[in-house]
Amino acid sequence: MGLSVSIRREKIAEVLIIGGGIVGSAVALGIAERGARVMMLDEGDCAFRAARGNAGLVWYQGKGQGMRQYQEWTLEATRGWPKFVDKLEELTGIEVSYRKPGGLNFCLSEAEYKSRRDLIDKIRREAEPDDYDCKMLDRTAVQELLPTIKLGDSVFGASYSVHDGHVNPLALLRALHAAFRGFGGYYYPGHSVFDIRQRAKQFVVQTFGGSFAASKLVIAAGNGTGRLAQMVGMHIPVRPEKGEILVTERTRPCLPFPCNRIQQTAEGSFLLGASQEDTGFDIQTNTRVIQCISNRARMVFPVLGKLKIIRSWASLRVITPDKMPIYEASGSSPEVFAIALHSGVTLASLHATKLADWIMDGHAPAGFQNFRCRRFNV
């Protein structure tokens, strides 16, 4: 009997994306729309996924102090959202419940108010031209904006920006995937990557579901990005940060603005949180933290104390050393890109457009080098 050898060949893509979270799928959509053959590799249901546990804020205010580029990038992203959503909904028929009434960040004491005002003033001074669109409101002005829900006595005021909004994050993820597939993209769930090697002008990527090769590789694997990037000689410093969120039972719509730690969904539930905890890869919820989140929410709106908490979860943010995005490129052939950031929901409109252009054509937006990792070496 002769020896039979079976050779399994790898699947060939023009662009391989590792990670099917909000970041990977937005970039994959943009690249597939440009007509490239794109394959997106993702883990299974037990993966750590910030994309499935976030608050859905499309948020501008308070971001970018110390890096004007990030402030401007966020502003451009929030401005791009209405058009982005129109297109996504038209392509997929999936309603993502996006709205942009502006957003509020509550301050529960005079000290909190002053510290918020100082932060906003700093960002405004750094912004160019001097038109940073965020203002401080006193308690009376905030209550006037919210005639159908009474503020708690501790609310001193809030910051407000017209650029802030909210989306249903799970519907967004679903729509990104559907639009990606609609443009001919291939999605491979259950394909956890364990090895990446360069072979001539290609990267060969090994997964538990088979091998893949491409001349462009995008690593957008959330908290897995650091480990995968090491395989191609890149150092991408990311760490997990736990955030816990509570969901209340549904009630009548009474909060017309998304707020930084309290929002009402289109269905009437309140989302409360999220916390910020440095606990490694632990995603257990914690009773003490849940208590803190609900206490603070009741201090803002005492009526929330009457609603039952029906669900809570914890999930992991993807945090860089200065909490601003990392967009890194090898600049060699074959090319590898690594992306790691918090605020993947907010930035999705740019990831599917300008970031896809950068990856495909090398057209980096002005000042884009500020997002590279070498900023950490200074």
Ligand X SMILES: Cc1cc2nc3c(=O)[nH]c(=O)nc-3n(C[C@H](O)[C@H](O)[C@H](O)COP(=O)(O)OP(=O)(O)OC[C@H]3O[C@@H](n4cnc5c(N)ncnc54)[C@H](O)[C@@H]3O)c2cc1C
Q: How far apart are CA 35 and CA 55, in angstroms?
A: 32
CB closer to ligand X, 202 vs 223: 223
Q: Which phi and psi angles does 153 have, rounded to 5°?
A: -65, -25
Report whether 105 contacts 165 (CB < 8 A).
no
Q: Which phi and psi angles does 213 have, rounded to 5°?
A: -140, 150
Of 78, 202, 344, 349, the residue at the interface with ligand X (CB under 6 A) is 344
Q: Output the six-digit token pair for 44.
A: 């299974």
β-pair partners for 346: none
Of 116, 296, 342, 354, the residue at the interface with ligand X (CB under 6 A) is 342
CB closer to ligand X, 63 vs 116: 63
Of 318, 338, 352, 359, the residue at the interface with ligand X (CB under 6 A) is 318
Residue 55 as a binder of ligand X (CB under 6 A): the answer is: yes
Q: Which phi and psi angles does 56 have, rounded to 5°?
A: 75, 20
Residue 290 as a binder of ligand X (CB under 6 A): the answer is: no
Q: Which phi and psi angles does 109 have, rounded to 5°?
A: -165, 170
Residue 22 as a binder of ligand X (CB under 6 A): the answer is: yes
Q: How far is the CB of 159 from ligand X (least distance, A)?
A: 16
Residue 204 as a binder of ligand X (CB under 6 A): the answer is: no
Among the residue ranges 94-102, 114-122, 196-204, 222-230, the one whose residues contact ligand X (CB under 6 A): 222-230
Task: State which residue has the least CB distance to ligand X.
Answer: 21
Residue 18 as a binder of ligand X (CB under 6 A): the answer is: yes
Residue 54 as a binder of ligand X (CB under 6 A): the answer is: yes
Q: How many CB atoms lie within 10 A of CB 144?
A: 9
CB closer to ligand X, 54 vs 264: 54
Among the residue ranges 107-115, 123-131, 287-295, 339-347, the one whose residues contact ligand X (CB under 6 A): 339-347
Report whether 225 contacts 338 (CB < 8 A).
yes
CA separation (Å) from 69 to 20, 135, 327, 365, 366? 26, 20, 12, 10, 9
Q: How far is the CB of 318 from ligand X (least distance, A)?
A: 5
Of 13, 16, 17, 20, the residue at the interface with ligand X (CB under 6 A) is 20
Reduced to 3 states (helix: H, G, I; strand: E, B; else coil), residue 54 is coil
Count, residues near ligand X per rule CB under 6 A: 41
Of 38, 120, 221, 255, the residue at the interface with ligand X (CB under 6 A) is 221
Sole residue written with tokens 């690593």: 219
CB closer to ligand X, 179 vs 345: 345
Residue 36 as a binder of ligand X (CB under 6 A): the answer is: no
CB closer to ligand X, 33 vs 42: 42
Burial of 295 (0-12, 13-18, 19+ CB in 10 A): exposed
Q: Output the six-digit token pair for 234.
A: 């890149």
Q: How far apart are CA 150 and CA 148, in angstroms?
A: 7
**Which residues contact ligand X (rule: CB under 6 A)?**
18-24, 41-43, 47-51, 53-57, 59, 192-193, 220-222, 224, 228, 243, 245, 274, 315-318, 341-346
